[in-house]
Amino acid sequence: MKKIRLLFYFYLIIIILFVVLKFDGSFYLIRDTMQNIKWSREEGAMNINYIPLKTIISQFQNAGEFWALKNLFANLAVFIPWGILFPLSYKHFKKFIPFAMATLCFLFLIECIQFIFMIGFFDVDDILLNFIGACIGYFIVNILINTKFLKTYKESSP
């Protein structure tokens, strides 16, 4: 289980770098994003979407565009490992309700950090898509546990 937890921590570092900070190899882009958001706020625009499905509908309407599909699928895919590694790393998150609550809190924290530090947009749709991705991972790992592919995990559970 220690190896899985180490893998989970490595995954968290990747999430912080690429999802929270949107690091692409250059800190200049992060600085430019912060300056652009600051300028937008000074002009009266906020970097926030609190209307559920607003962004998702827009992306579906532009589904022929690469950026739209990339955003939809990336937001789902990036949290599938969370859904697998988090409950395997911490057994008290093996049950769905504690897993879902902790996951939603973590996703909300990510969006708040992006908003407060102006390194991205707070988008309720990102929380929704990330949560769906995490749930996909959660259900995958539970199927594997129940079909005995992860027999050692099931046997070591409380």
pLDDT in tens, 32-65: 999 999 999 999 998 899 999 999 999 999 999 9
Q: At what angle are helices 80-89 and 96-116 packed, to 10 degrees?
A: 120
Q: What is the mean pLDDT of residues 91-105?
A: 97
Q: At what angle are helices 80-89 and 124-146 packed, to 10 degrees?
A: 60
* Cα(104)–Cα(55) distance, integer angstroms: 18
Q: What is the mean pLDDT of residues 145-149?
A: 80
H or E stretch covering 43: none
Q: Is the pLDDT of residue 81 over 60?
A: yes
pLDDT digit string, tens, across residues 101-131: 999 999 999 999 999 999 999 999 999 999 9
Q: What is the mean pLDDT of residues 72-89?
A: 97
80 Cα distance to chain centroid: 8
Backbone torsions φ then ψ of 150, nearest 5 degrees: -115, 55
Cβ atoms of residues 33 and 120 within 8 Å = yes
Specify the residue for token string 């607003």: 54
What's the confidence (pLDDT) of residue 25? 83
49: three-class secondary structure by DSSP: strand
Specify the residue for token string 């979407």: 49
Percent share of the chain, pLDDT over 90: 80
What's the confidence (pLDDT) of residue 107? 98
What's the confidence (pLDDT) of residue 155? 55
* Cα(14)–Cα(8) distance, integer angstroms: 10
Percent share of the chain, pLDDT over 70: 94
Residue 26 banded pLDDT, cuts 50, 70, 90: confident
Cα–Cα distance list, 79 to 25, 45, 50, 65, 137 (Å): 21, 29, 20, 23, 7
95 Cα distance to chain centroid: 19
Q: Is the pLDDT of residue 68 over 90?
A: yes
What's the confidence (pLDDT) of residue 71? 93
Cβ atoms of residues 23 and 15 within 8 Å = no
